[in-house]
Amino acid sequence: MKILVLTGAGISAESGIPTFRDKDGLWEGYPLEEVATPEAFHRNPERVHAFYNQRRRALLSPEIKPNAAHEALARFESTHDDDFLLVTQNIDDLHQRAGSKNVLAMHGELLKARCMLTDELFDWRDDLSPHTPHPDGSDLIGKLRPHVVWFGEMPIGLNTIERAAAQADLFIAIGTSALVYPAAGIVQWTQPSCRKVEINLGATPASDAFDQSIRGAASTEVPRFLQ
């Protein structure tokens, strides 16, 4: 059986990482267009770096850990790895820390920086700024950006995701508000014969596209569904 899983901020909420659009969400303090677009970065790199530096530091604080939902997905992958693809919209590394091996981070990764000249990726746990020197010792300065997909930018791995959706016998969407495309459209890329399950605290605009909606917290419902 081929399985495709899509996760959103809701799977990391119980690990202490704020979601985007729930109460006290991440976007509340920052209008999207001011911190998550290439134009915002070009206009005010310090402000955009500050937004991601704050989230990177928070992610690296000791109390932030994967929860039972991340762990259940990692266990499930280990017994189904050939027919299992985990796609996440999240830029945290909680799936990887839980032991998931094959994670497609379609909106990028907060703990990676990318050179804007060469597209080279670097593991990155410190703050970034327009004065950050290039790690390769060259005299390049300020050429690094967060390796994160902003609005208006092409998500990562769309061909792989599209192929996996077309072949999936089971598609599970966990903790996503289904408001951001193309991620929210993945459910439409599955075959009519594919079993579609949505695990979320509440309904989303995509709920009608699913055969089953499991209403509850990811840390409870995901281990229960996958057991």
Q: Which two tokens mark 48?
A: 């955009």
Q: Report the nearest approach of ligand BV8 to the CB of residue 63 (Å).
A: 17
Does position 132 bind ligand BV8 by CB under 6 A? no
Residue 124: exposed, middle, or buried by beta-carbon count in 10 A (0-12, 13-18, 19+)? buried
**Cα–Cα dist 227/50, whole Å:** 41
Q: Give the helix/strand (H/E) hosting 113.
A: strand 108-115
By CB under 6 A, tell whether 181 contacts ligand BV8.
yes
For ligand BV8, the closer of residues 140 and 158 by Cβ is 158
Q: Known binder of ligand: residue 93?
A: no
Torsion of CA 61, 67, 72, 75, to 10 degrees: 30
Is 201 within any annotated ligand binding site?
Answer: yes
Counting contacts by CB under 6 A, is residue 149 touching ligand BV8?
Answer: yes
Binding range to ligand BV8, per CB under 6 A, among 4-12, 71-79, 135-143, 186-194: 4-12
Residue 218 annotated as lining a ligand binding site: yes
203 binds ligand BV8 (CB under 6 A): no
147 an active-site residue? no
Choose among 223, 217, 178: nearest CA to 11: 217
CA distances from 114 to 25, 45, 76, 102, 156 (A): 26, 14, 31, 21, 14
Closest approach of Cβ 175 to ligand BV8, in Å? Answer: 4
User: Active-site residue numbers?
Assistant: 107
Q: Which residues bind ligand BV8 (CB under 6 A)?
A: 8-10, 13-14, 19-22, 25, 36, 89, 91, 107, 148-155, 175-177, 179-181, 200-202, 204, 217-218
